[in-house]
Structure 1
Amino acid sequence: MPWTTAIVIALIALAAPASAEVFTWIDRQGVAHFSDYPPGELPHQQLSLPRPSTVPMSENLQQERRISGIRDEVRDLLAKPGRAQGRDQRAEEADRARVCDGYRDKLARIQSKLRAGYGNDKGNTLRRQRRITSQKLSRECILR
């Protein structure tokens, strides 16, 4: 019985910080602060935080199974053999493969430049190029 009481008290003590109050204020330098205690004589506000949302594990597992099923269906659809390939269709697929390889090479070059370091403007330009190239690769090569 004493162990049960000790465990209950420990659980209550651990749960107390989860329901702590949150205060916010702005200091003389204009910096916003958040804390679990009021700042004393500085004007402050107490924030009311919504309860955290939780999802039961069973729902997560069901969602994972549903997504896996959709992924398998898409994979099966993509793997189905089409009509017999003629010379023109093979040439078209070879051209598309070259274009897709070009996109992948360009993405690799952009990523290499991003890893090498950059200034703000250059980084924004590289990220925009990466986004556009990635979208083209997805539309023309992966989702097609």
Structure 2
Amino acid sequence: MPRSLAVFFCILLSASPVFAGVYTWIDDQGVAHFSDHPPAKAPHREVDIQPVATVPMSENLKQGRRVSEIRNDVQNVLSNSDRPVKTSAKARARERAKHEKTCDRYRQQLETIQSQLRGGYSNDRGNSLRQRRRVVSQKMSRECILG
């Protein structure tokens, strides 16, 4: 028993610096100092240390469930909109031809812009050409490569 009591007092004494205050003051050169001992001659103030904020586990679980429900709802909406609509072979062929024509038009526009850039340009003209190339390239990527 005396042994456990001695261990208890050692732990209690070693934990006392944890409860010590933190002090701050500014010296003559304008440097801010922080310490666990107040300065002898300088005016100081004690820093109020806020306890660590913890979020209860129940709130984390509720939020996790809400996120999962929202994710499932989004997945359902996306999967419902991706279902192919039955179309005739002629309609599919028309759509494919229209798609190819659009992609060919984008390729032609990019080639034209590239040749204009290779041919020389002023700064303003080059900036507008590069901007057009960027826009056409993005459209082509979205509609032809990804789409």
Report the TM range for the smaller structure's normalisation. 0.3 to 0.5
Relative to the length of structure 2, the TM-score reads 0.46
Relative to the length of structure 1, the TM-score reads 0.47
Larger Rg: 2
